[in-house]
Each structure stands twice: as C-alpha cells, then as structure tokens.
Amino acid sequence: MNKARALIAGHGDFAEGLLSAVVQISGRDDVFATLSNRGLSAQDVERVMRERVEAGNLSVIFTDLPAGSCTMAARRVQRVRPDVIIVMGANLATLLDFIFASDEASPAEAARHAVDKGRGSILVTEGPASGGGERGA
C-alpha cells in the first residue's frame, strides 16, 4: 500500500463520509487524507490545508463545491504549489476510480480519468409514468 497522495476537503462530514465509503468498498485507507471546514475560518481552512498538503506531499485536492470555502482555499494553495491538482465536485465514483488508478499514472492523469468516471456515474432514472429510462446527467 502507498502513502496518502490526495486530500478530500469539504463541508461538515463530507470528507470523512466519503473516506469511510471508499475504505468500506476498497479496503484501502492509505490514499486519502481528509479535512472538514467545520468551525474553521477561511484563513484557517487554507492554513490547515496547506499544512496537510506540505506534510504529506499531497498532489491532488478533491473538494465538494466548485465555489465553496475548501475549493477557494485549495486555489490559494495551488498558487503557491502549482503542481497541486484540484478536483471540484468530487463524488464516491470519482474517488474510487482515483484509488484504483495505476501507480504508473501521474496524479493529473489519474485525476482526469477519475473525473470522467465520476461524471459518468451521475444518472437520472424516471419511472414508467414519465417515459421511463435512464439517462446520464
């Protein structure tokens, strides 16, 4: 197993909840570190995020909302560390694909592939009364 290489950051228990699901499904608890913005100011989120990225030499930050406080902090971290990749709007499918990315894949390649898988996992199903069927979102 490898050392953590990415950070999941978001509101409330978002990061911990996704990590819990990832571990339950994959059995791997070594790929992600987590950060909640609960009780933290915008400056604190950025400081803690920067500390975790630096301490773990993390290369990817997954966040919940494109314009949320964690994403804004990640963008500020990225200004100092342009090698850091940010994935906004992360979901379970995205994280699972990232976790199983080939060890030979660069962080950017793994993140791009994970985003494609995560986007493709978002579906809408409608009952028979509305025409039925399943469509990608």
15-66 per-position pLDDT tens digit: 999 999 999 999 999 999 999 999 999 999 999 999 999 999 999 999 999 9
Predicted confidence at residue 102, as pLDDT, reads 67
In a domain, 115, yes or no: yes
Residue 21 resides in a domain: yes
Q: Which residue has the higher pLDDT, 1 or 90?
A: 90
Domain containing residue 114: CATH number: 3.40.50.510
Q: Which pLDDT band holds residue 1 (cuts at 50, 70, 90)?
A: very low
Q: Which residue has the tokens 């490898």?
A: 2
75 exposure class (CB count in 10 Å sphere: 0-12, 13-18, 19+): middle
Give a yes or no: residue 1 inside a domain.
no
Please give the structure tokens belonging to residue 77: 């971290």
Say what the pTM is. 0.89
Please check whether residue 10 lies inside any domain of the structure: yes
The string of pLDDT tens digits covering residues 89-133 is 999 999 999 998 867 789 999 999 999 999 999 999 988 876 666
Residue 70 has pLDDT above 80, yes or no: yes
Q: Would residue 127 count as lying in a domain?
A: yes
Number of domains in the chain: 1
Single out the residue of 30, 32, 33, 34 nearest to residue 1, CA to CA: 30
- Tell me how far apart the alpha carbons of residues 82 and 133 are, in angstroms, rounded to a whole number: 43
So what's the pLDDT on residue 135? 65
Parent domain of 102: 6-136
Do the domain assignments include residue 11? yes
